[in-house]
């Protein structure tokens, strides 16, 4: 049973310093949200995120996780915006009182592509960066180990939550609980499982906290590291260059009146 | 090595204390087993010994806890844990999740205490050799069995070189193979000078490994002494602790009119064989 979503592929992306990946992810997110044009997000997706995903050899896992997160959001986004966008004038499809407009879909495309970039970049970071390396990198840069751990352990929360939920569900199914039926019935069945799930998570958190403190996590000594997190001068420079380039990419179109 | 004098403790807002006037004295390098029914206060006592109470849980603690003559009462938690190591029940929850391999997991505590890298490497290798963890060092802690994960948790404590190691029901969530692994560690630790306090329900294994047993019941230590004497004590049933299967077999035999006049009931296989052989011979 793993407690992280990290996928060890040993790719060049995996070998990058976590700070480099974190800075790159933040730059991508800032660019796509600062420039309100759909094709910017499309371009970032095509020239940055997808190639990095391919190099990382985590494409399949990335697609699966991202689709699970994004599909419901995108469906709702396109339906709602396509039908109700206030500036919608060009009707594409009409069905009774409902009309899907070109402007609504265009708006949904812009928002949707930004969300796709946000989710893909974040999940890619998590898939290619071990939480421990991220914590070490953050701590090495002066961040409180506790804060670093909160960030890295948050990344582990989802798989830990999923594993426990599966265990509870299996235990209940072994006692004859049927989870078949309509979505509403499934939700109704799942509700009583939330109690043990949440209480169990509280116990886990207390246990983990005790185990961490027993190993001196609360110590004020300056941390050392058995295995140094890999870094290089090229990466150190790139961590300054990437934000500078991002800033330029955002400012120049506005300064020149292109946007 | 670790000594408790008149320790009483009540959780915050509790109506009555969990522990009252607990006193015990466990010498350097000894392996002491503490027995107690569920709810007797074993985990509370373990946390008091390790300095987590009252530092983390709050409440009112009176009496003194000392390690090697030095009081633990006023120490900050980070300093207390450098004197007493604590291993808890759930092996999975003791994995930090912050490290990728078993080697790094064992070193995690040393990193927190700022130990220099060359010394860390030496200490990790030393503990891995002691507990025979070498083949696991480069694996992910999440890939290990429960027993192996518990060994890693123990190694993570031993590497800190705390003079005392408290183990709170370390085998309660393990299968027989994992349980055996953990108890084998006790044999390994014998002679290293580490004082081990183990809270356990597995009476036969405790009989094999412990130098002394203490019984926690009615909020205090009600019996202490040699494992054979303690495990043969008829009052164990009153304290809801049970007895070994050999003792139960001997009692059942007595109920059927066998082993008449036997004063000391057997608590181990060897003793049972001797007792039944004598009885058979007498017939």
A25 & A114 share domain: yes
**What tens digit of pLDDT does each residue of A97-150 get?**
778 888 888 889 999 999 999 999 999 999 999 888 888 888 888 888 877 777
Q: What is the pLDDT of residue A17?
A: 94
Taking every pair of C-alpha atoms in chain A, what is the biggest distance, in angstroms?
A: 70
> Residue B111 is nearest to which of A1, A152, A223, comparing CB atoms?
A223
Domain segments of chain B as ranges: 2-236, 244-283
A91 & A195 share domain: no
**In 10 A of CB B126, how many CB atoms?**
13
**Domain presence at residue A6:** no
Mutation target to probe the A interface, by most A beta carbons within 10 A, among B43, B47, B105, B112 is B112
Q: Which two tokens stand for residue A233?
A: 């001068």
* Chain A residues inside the 8 Å CB shell of B95: 3, 211
| SS3 category, B215 | strand
pLDDT in tens, chain A (259 residues): 555 688 888 899 999 999 999 999 999 999 999 998 899 999 999 999 999 999 999 999 999 999 999 999 999 998 888 787 787 778 888 887 778 888 888 889 999 999 999 999 999 999 999 888 888 888 888 888 877 777 766 666 666 777 778 888 888 888 887 777 777 777 777 777 788 888 888 888 888 889 999 999 988 888 888 988 889 999 999 999 999 999 999 999 888 887 7
**In 10 A of CB B111, how many CB atoms?**
26
Q: What kind of architecture, by CATH, is found in domain B2-236?
A: 3-Layer(aba) Sandwich (3.40)
**Domain presence at residue A136:** no
**Domain presence at residue A138:** no
| SS3 category, A52 | helix
* Chain A residues inside the 8 Å CB shell of B44: none
pLDDT category, B229, cuts 50, 70, 90?
very high
Name the minimum distance, in Å, from the CA of B217 to any CA of chain A: 25
**Domain presence at residue A61:** yes
**What is the chain B residue with the closest CA to A140?**
B111
Interface of A with B (CB under 8 A): 1-4, 130-133, 135, 145, 149, 152-153, 156, 204, 207-208, 210-227
> Residue A1 is nearest to which of B50, B88, B142, comparing CB atoms?
B142
Within an 8 Å CB–CB cutoff, is residue B50 touching chain A?
Answer: yes
Within an 8 Å CB–CB cutoff, is residue B90 touching chain A?
Answer: yes
pTM: 0.79
**Domain presence at residue A135:** no
Number of domains in chain A: 2
Contact B86 A210 (CB under 8 A): yes
A92 & A203 share domain: no
> Residue B112 is nearest to which of A2, A210, A216, comparing CB atoms?
A216
**What tens digit of pLDDT does each residue of B159-196 get?**
999 999 999 999 998 999 989 999 999 999 988 999 99
Q: What is the pLDDT of residue A104?
A: 87
Contact B90 A214 (CB under 8 A): no
A21 & A87 share domain: yes
Mutation target to probe the B interface, by most B beta carbons within 10 A, among A210, A228, A230 is A210
Q: In which domain, by residue range, is A150 found? A: 144-214
A98 & A179 share domain: no
* Chain B residues inside the 8 Å CB shell of A220: 78
A118 & A165 share domain: no
- In our burial notation (b when 16+ CB lie closer than 10 A, e otherwise), range A8-44 reads eeebebbebbbbbbbbbbebbbebbebbeebebbbeb
Proportion of chain A in helix, strand, coil states, percent, rounded to 5: 75, 5, 25
3-state secondary structure B107-123: HHHHHHCCCCHHHHHHH
A98 & A180 share domain: no
**Domain presence at residue A7:** no
CA–CA separation, B71 and B134 (whole Å): 36
Contact A207 B94 (CB under 8 A): yes
């Amino acid at each position: 049973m793993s407690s992280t979503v990290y996928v060890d592929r040993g790719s060049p992306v995996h070998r990058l310093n976590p700070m480099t990946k974190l800075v790159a992810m933040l730059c991508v997110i800032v660019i796509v949200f600062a420039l309100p044009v759909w094709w910017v997000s499309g371009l970032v997706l095509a020239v940055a995120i997808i190639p990095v995903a391919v190099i990382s050899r985590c494409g399949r896992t990335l697609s699966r996780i991202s689709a699970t997160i994004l599909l419901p959001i995108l469906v709702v986004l396109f339906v709602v915006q396509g039908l109700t966008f206030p500036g919608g004038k060009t009707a594409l499809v009409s069905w009774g009182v409902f009309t899907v407009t070109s402007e609504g879909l265009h708006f949904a495309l812009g928002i949707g592509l930004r969300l796709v970039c946000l989710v893909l970049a974040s999940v890619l970071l998590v898939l290619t960066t071990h939480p421990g390396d991220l914590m070490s990198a953050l701590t090495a840069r002066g961040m409180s180990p506790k804060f670093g751990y909160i960030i890295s352990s948050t990344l582990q929360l989802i798989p830990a939550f999923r594993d426990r939920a599966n265990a509870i569900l299996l235990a209940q199914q072994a006692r004859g609980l049927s989870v078949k039926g309509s979505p509403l019935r499934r939700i109704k069945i799942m509700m009583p499982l939330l109690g043990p799930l949440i209480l169990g998570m509280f116990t886990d958190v207390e246990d983990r906290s005790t185990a961490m403190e027993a190993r001196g996590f609360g110590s004020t000594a300056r941390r050392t590291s058995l295995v140094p997190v890999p870094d290089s001068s090229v990466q150190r420079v790139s961590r300054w260059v990437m934000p500078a380039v991002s800033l330029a990419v955002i400012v120049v179109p506005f300064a020149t009146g292109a946007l | 090595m670790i000594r408790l004098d008149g320790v009483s403790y009540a959780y915050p807002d509790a109506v009555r204390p969990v522990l009252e006037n607990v006193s015990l004295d466990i010498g350097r390098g000894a392996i002491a087993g503490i027995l107690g029914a569920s709810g007797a206060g074993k985990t509370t006592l373990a946390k008091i010994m390790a300095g987590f109470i009252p530092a983390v849980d709050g409440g009112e603690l009176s009496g003194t806890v000392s390690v090697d003559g030095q009081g633990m009462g006023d120490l900050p938690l980070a300093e207390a844990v450098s004197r007493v190591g604590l291993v808890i029940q759930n092996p999975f929850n003791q994995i930090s999740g912050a490290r990728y391999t078993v080697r790094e997991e064992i070193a995690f505590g040393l990193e927190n205490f700022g130990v220099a890298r060359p010394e860390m490497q030496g200490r990790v290798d030393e503990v891995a050799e002691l507990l025979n963890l070498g083949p696991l060092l480069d694996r992910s802690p999440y890939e290990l069995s429960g027993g192996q994960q518990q060994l890693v948790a123990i190694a993570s404590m031993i590497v800190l070189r705390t003079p005392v190691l408290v183990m709170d029901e370390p085998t309660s969530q393990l299968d027989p193979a994992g349980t055996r692994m953990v108890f084998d560690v006790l044999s390994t630790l014998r002679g290293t000078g580490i004082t081990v306090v183990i809270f356990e329900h597995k009476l036969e294994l405790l009989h094999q490994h412990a130098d002394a047993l203490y019984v926690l019941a009615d909020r205090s230590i009600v019996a202490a002494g040699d494992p054979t004497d303690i495990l043969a004590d008829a009052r164990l049933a009153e304290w809801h602790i049970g007895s070994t299967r050999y003792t139960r077999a001997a009692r059942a035999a007595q109920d059927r009119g066998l082993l008449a006049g036997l004063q000391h009931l057997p608590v181990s296989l060897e003793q049972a064989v001797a007792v039944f052989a004598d009885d058979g011979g007498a017939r």
